[in-house]
Amino acid sequence: MMAPRLFRILIILAGIMGADGIILAAASAHQPDAARLASASSMLLFHATAVLAVVALSERGVIHLRIAIAAGFGFVIAATLFATDLTLRQYAGHSLFPMAAPTGGTLLIVSWLLLAVAAAWPRQV
């Protein structure tokens, strides 16, 4: 089955998100006027934990597998998009692309709603 491989990928990505979140937290603490980096850090750290929760709940069969995997990858993509945009604004003075952070934020909302649907959907037997 493909789920264990996808779970492993999600866990690896969550670990990278967590590490990047810590790096950005340290950078924001040591740079003046770095509120964007603090926001980027929080987004990565919070959603890295959410990705790990998605994997754990999926493996236990508490939530619908396919929907949960979509939510997990949505968290990764959206938080990365959001954090990358804020980091680029801080260091390069421009955004990733127009509306990148709001697009990431919207995808985060959709991913949280997908997680809710995964919990409400009948469990696969």
Alpha helices in 1-99 (DSSP H): 3-30, 35-59, 65-91
Q: Is the pTM above the cut of 0.95?
A: no
- Identify the band that residue 2 occupies on the pLDDT scale cut at 50, 70 and 90: confident
Number of structural domains (the chain) is 1
> To the nearest whole number, what is the mean pLDDT of the chain?
94
112 domain residue, yes or no: yes
For residue 94, the enclosing domain spans: 2-120
Q: What is the CA radius of gyration of the chain?
A: 15
What is residue 122's predicted lDDT score, i.e. its pLDDT? 66
> DSSP state, 1?
-
Share of the chain above pLDDT 70, in %: 96
Condensed to tens digits (0 to 9), the pLDDT of residues 106-117 reads: 999 999 999 999
Condensed to tens digits (0 to 9), the pLDDT of residues 29-56 reads: 999 899 999 999 999 999 999 999 999 9
125 domain residue, yes or no: no
Share of the chain above pLDDT 90, in %: 91
| Greatest CA separation for the chain | 54
Which CATH number is 62's domain given? 1.20.120
17 domain residue, yes or no: yes
Q: Can you tell me which residue has the tokens 């709940």?
A: 57
18 domain residue, yes or no: yes
- Please say whether the beta carbons of 21 and 44 come within 8 A: yes
9 domain residue, yes or no: yes
